[in-house]
Amino acid sequence: MKKLVAFDLDGTLTQHKTPLDEENRAVLDALRQKGYHLLMVGAGQCRRIFEQMGRYPIDIIGNYGLQYAEYREKSGDIEIVRDETFPCDRLSVEDRVNYFRKKYGFTEYAGDSVEYHPSGCVTFAILGTKAAQADKLAFDPDRSRRRRFYGEVVEAFPEYTVFVGGSSSFDMAPKPYDKYYALSLYCKEHGIAHSEAVFVGDDYGPGGNDESVFRSDIDFICVDDYRKLKQALRELL
């Protein structure tokens, strides 16, 4: 019997970086009423995830497990209870990023070439950190363009777990952090067997940030369109 339902955010519960809509909020409410414990497992910071979800009452794993926040009913807010950071050799990262820019012709970009996150996570922003949203969405919608050299990026950054992130970037988390590692740690800390958990996500293909869970011993529900979340979860509802 399932006790824990864990979710990805963008593409699963919401459109990319857009608020949780009322229909999917109602789906979460229905799961809570049935007694499931709900958990967010995200790539971004817990606070950003919480606000994007309209401050929905849910525990949140952020930064691939480097950060963890618990929801407090009394305050109606989250409390950060774990917030780890890793050092980053920026010069080395930029040398390697520049190699790929020159090799594949990505020498023009808007803003910064690399985004450094406080946690130690890194984003190789192919179009730059200030690229127009329309340009980013049009760059590689099916991810095939980046997957052609994804393996090379993985080899070049052995200290990171590398993901084909968003629509125009590579996201990197310090090893051993990824969503499976984070979810496994949560289950261990809360006395939940892997067989009692299910993960709901959309990014389960090669290089996707849900792939580690998809290929694990934890059951996985695939959501290919966030507007069809209720249909995907019909067996739980």
Contact 221, 2 (CB under 8 A): no
Residue 81, SS3 per DSSP: strand
**Model confidence at 220: pLDDT above 90:** yes
Determine the distance from the C-alpha atom of residue 110 to the mean position of all C-alpha atoms in its chain, rounded to a whole number: 24
Mean pLDDT of 20-25: 97
pLDDT digit string, tens, across residues 69-80: 999 999 999 999
Mean pLDDT of 117-139: 94
Mean pLDDT of 53-62: 98
Residue extents of the structural domains in the chain? 4-84+177-232, 90-174
For position 166, what pLDDT does the model report?
80
**Band of pLDDT at residue 127, cut at 50, 70 and 90:** very high
Contact 35, 2 (CB under 8 A): no
The two three-digit tokens of residue 34, written as one number? 């049935």
Q: Is the pTM of this model over 0.85?
A: yes
**Band of pLDDT at residue 16, cut at 50, 70 and 90:** confident
For position 151, what pLDDT does the model report?
97
For position 165, what pLDDT does the model report?
82
Mean pLDDT of 142-171: 95
For position 104, what pLDDT does the model report?
96
**Model confidence at 167: pLDDT above 90:** no
Mean pLDDT of 42-67: 97
The overall average pLDDT reported for the chain is 96
Does CATH place domain 4-84+177-232 in 3.40.50.2000? Answer: no
For position 115, what pLDDT does the model report?
96
Strands 4-7 and 197-201: parallel
Cβ burial 162-201 (10 Å sphere, 16+ → b, else e) = bbbbbbbbbbbbbeebbbbbbbbbbbeeeebebeebbbbb
Percent of the chain with pLDDT over 70: 100
For position 190, what pLDDT does the model report?
96
For position 9, what pLDDT does the model report?
96
Q: Give 42-80 as a DSSP string.
A: -SS-HHHHHHHTTS-S-EEEEGGGTEEEEEETTTTEEEE
Mean pLDDT of 95-116: 97
**Model confidence at 185: pLDDT above 90:** yes
Farthest CA pair distance, the chain = 54
Mean pLDDT of 210-224: 97
CATH pick for 90-174 out of 1.10.510.10, 3.30.1240.20, 3.40.50.2300, 3.40.640.10: 3.30.1240.20
Mean pLDDT of 28-36: 98
Query: For residue 31, what is the enclosing H or E element?
Result: helix 22-33
The two three-digit tokens of residue 103, written as one number? 């090799």
Strands 122-125 and 114-116: antiparallel
For position 195, what pLDDT does the model report?
98
